[in-house]
Amino acid sequence: MRCCETLKDLIPENPMIVRLLCTALLGLMFLAVLRAQGAAGLKKAAFGKTKDGQPVDLYTLTNASGMEVAITNYGGTVVSVKVPDRNGRFADVVLGFDNFDGYLNNTPFFGVIVGRYGNRIAKARFTLDGQEYHLAANDNGNTLHGGLKGFDKRVWKARDVSTKEIPAVELTYLSKDGEEGFPGNLLATVTYSLTPKNELKIDYAATTDKPTVLNLTNHSYFNLAGQGEGDALSHLVMINADGFTPVDSSLIPTSESKGVGGTPFDFRKPTRIGDRIDADDPQIKFGRGYDHNFVLNRKDGGLVLAARVTEPSSGRVLEVLTTQPGLQFYTGNFLDGSVHGKSGKAYPRRAAFCMETQHFPDSPNHPGFPTTVLRPGEHFHSTTVFRFSTVK
């Protein structure tokens, strides 16, 4: 090859050195070709330690298109999601922190697995099979996102379960009987997979040895313009739901389902988040914006398109598919700029949105809602897909 001939000219009296240098150079060129073609894979690196000394790792999944997702086994947290815009420029589209200390010292639930029960349980209690269970009251007298130390603050056991084309990491956590007041030893497994189609697929599974309640979800905050790039109010949102569950002043559902027609909650056609987020509507005022569960349109328990979000300036599109019956649409109303994330960027109010696929909030206290009860011998499983693409 011409590069080797050049080396011979430069070092004519050292043929062995020339051969060694040629071999090394050809190896580097081969790696460059592989990288250009896009090799899918998973990399593991140390991320930090908890306050009691438990090691925490970061798992970076990359697909053949160059999309990259980083996940830590602390809380099963999605740390970053890097996807291209319409011009092929990559940006990280989820809020979070550059290092592990940020996740230890802040509590906005950036990117975490929420459990044992995502969203709220009224008055921090529920009754199951005639027995009342009392939980931690960590949200105005209610239980929010599993209590004081939910699944988001636990170190999960991680295992590489990648295939040739699909990098994947499996996270497992045993929540012991009585943890945060919930009954039963619950074995939870969450698997993150990155497909060749730029899809982050999340599979949830669980079993229990006592009757319990369960509502697992992911709490990633998205800004498709790029994390820290202003607010999310210009994003166009479509939610595949004819109804939503109204709430009281403490954001607990009132047991009814209300049609979205003629309300600020009608996203059946693409609508800017900012168009009606400050509408003179009691529900909007209770949530300080959108913080509500939408009743998804579905005919069976399979994957259904729950939402589609488009960011006009970048052309990035996020589609959310799920097997779950509900979708909590939250617009970062409680962010206030005091939290500084990646690259020191401040996260002001409404800097992002969440699409939390789920069962309904406070379901254990609402017999008419889809059940969240899991019993011994049963196997819970649900799937959510975050699919990324672009438009011109």
Residue 219 among the catalytic residues: yes
Give tens-digit pLDDT for 283-332: 999 999 999 999 999 988 899 999 999 999 999 999 999 999 999 999 99
Cis peptide before 116 (omega within 30 of 0): yes
How much is the pLDDT for 10? 44
Give tens-digit pLDDT for 215-238: 999 999 999 999 999 999 999 999
Q: Which residue ranges make up each domain of the chain? A: 2-36, 43-390
Residue 134 among the catalytic residues: no
CATH topology of domain 43-390: Beta-galactosidase; Chain A, domain 5 (2.70.98)
How high is the mean pLDDT of the chain? 92
How much is the pLDDT for 106? 81
Report residues of the chain scoring pLDDT below 50: 1-8, 10-12, 18, 21-22, 24-37
The active-site residue out of 229, 292, 356, 366 is: 356
The active-site residue out of 170, 199, 219, 311 is: 219
How much is the pLDDT for 107? 77
How much is the pLDDT for 85? 98
How much is the pLDDT for 31? 37
The CA distance from 267 to 272, in Å, is 9
